[in-house]
A and B are shown apart, each in its own frame.
Chain A
Amino acid sequence: MRRSKTTIGVAFAALAVLCAMFATTASAAPAWKFESKSLEGTEVVLGGAIESSMTIPGLTTKCENFLYKLTIENASGTGKGSLTEMPLYNCTTNSKYCTVEKIGAENLPWSSKLTTVSTTPYIIIEGVKVGILYEGEACVLGETFVTVTGSAGGSIDNSKETATFNSSTLSASGTELKALSQKIEWNGLFPTEAFQWHREQALSVS
């Protein structure tokens, strides 16, 4: 009799664990929402980085104008997106020897999806590829074409309507960007604002 109670207890515990796992999975698929209502159809999110920099140890590259165009939708209740444009202008380095001759996003569009990491909504950008050509006679990277590849996860702040990318968010989301065959640091703060059907409506992810 005692054994039967124990068996039932173990079964309930297992069920509880399964439910908890299911709950985690469910919350791991957030959706795009406007004024707290799930987005239907597509929307275009446009913006420019409030700040952004990429660092390979010892060399930081910044772009004054880091724009992006992201088409978003909810597919089967999960937020997805497609980054179709990402023009980069006025890029400089922290080195007096190195200038940025050319920089550009390659292999666009890049796909994106929403997920949740420890209750915080995240956007994951996949298939990132940015080519950079540095110049400068005294720059060791002069004439060397550097390609940044990988995926990047940024945390979404619903109250500020921003997405933040940094080493913590990339690590938390299990993503990484690489250049010159090594992991690099990328810091970026981007506004998330709709520019098509939901202009001036609060965009949130949950």
Chain B
Amino acid sequence: MQKHRRGALATALLAVALAALGLTATAQAKLTGEYTRFANCPYTNLEVKKCLLSTTTSGEVVLGKKKVPIEKPVVLQGGAGKQVEGIAPFFAASNGITLSKAPQNVPGGLLGIVPEASSPALVKALIKFFLENSLTGVNSTLELAKPASEIRVSENNLAAEEGVALKMPVMVHLENPFLGKSCYVGSSSSPIIWNLTTGKTAPPAPNTSISGKAGFIEFLEEGSVAFLKEAKLVDNAWSAPKATGCGGILSFLVSPIINAQLGTTTAGNNTAILNNTIYIAAAAAVRLNNEEHP
């Protein structure tokens, strides 16, 4: 009797699991045409008014004296809520990957950010060890420093080429076996705040004003989707805190060396230039497409 019950329970659980898998597959298969881009938009949440998919295809991030070109695409996706005074709150992507982690190569690698000559003996020995093991490459990965709900978007400013179009709290993860897993510039408690604009920046010296652009817009799916190509978002007025957690247990030695190499990272010494293709959809249209294609 108990065996039979257990068997029935297992069958029921399996059926639920299969149904869940089936539902997931159906949910993903429903969207069609341009709407398929918004599969990870939380459009089922009625507070979400717009779906956003922005891919940074090139550009650069200058942090103090270090310039990192963006060579691997970085994707920002999610939803935007109702605008209040032209600014909308952001909703995380439904798959949890609001900002994709795309490690970008830091030119010069380990040698570029940890100069062997001026390092303490222990650090020198470790660098030598890592260099000899061809582990000199350093990657820089942009990560969200706070929940996606802290992001703010302004479609009006994006289109009008004025004001802040995208406000994003970020941190930069420097990755290399020598630097350890916790080498960051910025943190959740002390994030780098990017106020990206498609207009002109007004940074403090030594930086000077640079310009972004909204790019070219085209409406797709009968005006329910906007496609912006060659959109350039810029900010060169942001400040960055010191690097922390670099070098594992030798952080007290390595982090200061990295900070010395980065140089001054106060406002006016850093730049973010992001060249994007952006797709924006009315969430209601995505929902409708989802319902029309069961």
Indicate with 1 or 0, residue by residue over A89-102, a CB within 8 angstroms of chain B CB atoms.
00001111110000
Given A57-B217, A59-B223, A140-B225, A145 and B285 contact (CB-CB distance below 8 Å): no
Q: 25 A-B Cβ contacts within 8 A? A: A56-B217, A57-B217, A57-B218, A58-B220, A59-B223, A93-B223, A94-B223, A96-B222, A97-B223, A97-B285, A136-B223, A138-B288, A139-B223, A139-B282, A140-B223, A140-B224, A140-B281, A144-B159, A147-B160, A180-B160, A181-B161, A181-B198, A181-B215, A181-B217, A182-B217
Q: Which residue of B lies closest to A184 (CB)?
A: B217
Number of interface residues of A (CB under 8 A): 25
**Most A CB atoms within 10 A — which of B161, B224, B225?**
B224
Instruction: Please give the distance in Å from A145's CB to the nearest CB on chain B.
Output: 7
Contacts of B280 in A (CB 8 A): 140
- Contact for A59 among B214, B219, B284, CB less than 8 A: B219
Interface residues of A in 123-158 (CB under 8 A from B): 136-147
Q: Given A144-B156, A181-B161, are A97 and B214 also a contact pair (CB < 8 Å)?
A: no
Write out, one digit per residue, whether chain A residues 26-48 have a CB within 8 A of any chain B CB (1) or not (0): 00000000000000000000000
Give the complex CA separation of A146 and B155 in angstroms: 11
Distance A146 CA – B159 CA, assembled complex (angstroms): 9
**B22-60 Cβ-contact flags toward A at 8 Å (1 or 0):** 000000000000000000000000000110000000000
Q: Which residues of B contact A96 (CB under 8 A)?
A: 222
The reply to whether A95 and B217 form a contact with Cβ atoms under 8 Å apart is: no
* Residues of B with C-beta under 8 A to A137: 282, 284
Main secondary structure of the interface of B (DSSP, over half): mixed
- Which among B49, B160, B213, B217 has the greatest number of chain A C-beta atoms within 10 A? B217
Main secondary structure of the interface of A (DSSP, over half): loop
Q: Hey, which chain B residues are within 8 Å of A58, CB to CB?
A: 218-220, 223
Task: Please judge, given known A-B contacts A58-B220, A95-B219, whether A138 and B156 are in contact too, CB under 8 Å.
Answer: no
The answer to whether A140 touches B198 (Cβ under 8 A) is no
Beyond the given pairs A96-B222, A97-B223, A140-B280, 18 more chain A to chain B contacts, judged by CB atoms under 8 angstroms and listed by A's residue number, are A56-B217, A57-B217, A58-B223, A59-B223, A94-B223, A95-B223, A97-B282, A97-B285, A138-B282, A138-B285, A140-B226, A142-B49, A143-B82, A144-B155, A146-B159, A180-B160, A181-B214, A182-B216
Residue B119 CB within 8 A of the other chain: no
B95: which A residues are within 8 A, CB to CB? none
Question: With an 8 A cutoff between CB atoms, is B83 at the interface?
Answer: yes
Give, as a whole number of angstroms, the nearest-CB distance from A114 to chain B. Answer: 32
Residues on B with C-beta less than 8 A from A139 are: 223-224, 282, 285
| Candidate in A57, A140, A180, A182 with the most chain B CB atoms within 10 angstroms | A140
Closest to A93 in B: B223
- CA A108 – CA B225 in complex, angstroms? 33
The residue in chain A whose Cβ has the minimal distance to the Cβ of B86 is: A145
Q: Is B159 within 8 A of A138, CB to CB?
A: no
CB distance from A105 to the nearest CB of B (A): 19
B226 touches A141 (CB 8 A): yes
CA distance in complex: A147, B156 (Å) = 10
In the complex, the answer to whether B217 meets A138 with C-beta atoms within 8 Å is no
Q: With both chains docked as a complex, state the minimum distance between the C-beta of A133 and any C-beta of chain B, in angstroms.
A: 11
Q: Kindly supply a per-residue 1/0 record for chain B positions 72-100, scoring 1 wherever the CB is within 8 Å of any chain A CB and 0 otherwise.
A: 00000000001100000000000000000
Known contacts: A58-B220, A95-B222, A181-B214. The answer to whether A143 contacts B83 by CB under 8 A is yes
- Residues 201-231 of B at the A interface (beta carbon under 8 Å): 213-220, 222-226
Q: Given A138-B288, A181-B198, A182-B217, A95 and B224 touching (CB < 8 A)?
A: yes
A93 CA / B257 CA spacing, docked (Å): 60
Binary flags per residue of B147-161, CB closer than 8 Å to A gives 1, else 0: 000000001100111
A148-189 contacts to B (CB < 8 Å): 180-182
